[in-house]
Amino acid sequence: MNTPMTPEQEYDYYAQPENQTPQGPARRRRPSRLTALVPVRFPPELLEEVRRAADADDRSLSAWIRRAVEHELRDSA
């Protein structure tokens, strides 16, 4: 059974040049389902809290914010 790597283990693994060779045939990416860039400003303290939450979920800041908005819309409906 394969045990998933931690983010630190992934970083160490892919930091080695021999583990950076593409495998298999090239694939085209699907066009993004995202539409428009929406600039949003946060107070520094809130932004730092959001960054910590995103890191804890192993998500990008954008992905974490999108998910939070989706949850809020779903909960308010």
DSSP calls for 32-57: PS----------HHHHHHHHHHHHHT
Task: Please tell me the distance from the alpha carbon of residue 9 to that of residue 16, in angstroms, as a whole number.
Answer: 11
pTM across the whole model: 0.57
* Domain extent listing, the chain: 42-71
Task: Please tell me the distance from the alpha carbon of residue 31 to that of residue 6, in angstroms, as a whole number.
Answer: 29
- As a whole-number percent, the residues of the chain with pLDDT over 70 amount to 99
Task: Please tell me the distance from the alpha carbon of residue 33 to that of residue 58, in angstroms, as a whole number.
Answer: 21
Task: Please tell me the distance from the alpha carbon of residue 54 to that of residue 48, in angstroms, as a whole number.
Answer: 10
Q: Which amino acid is at 77?
A: A
**Which tens digits make up the pLDDT trace of 13-30?**
999 999 888 888 888 777
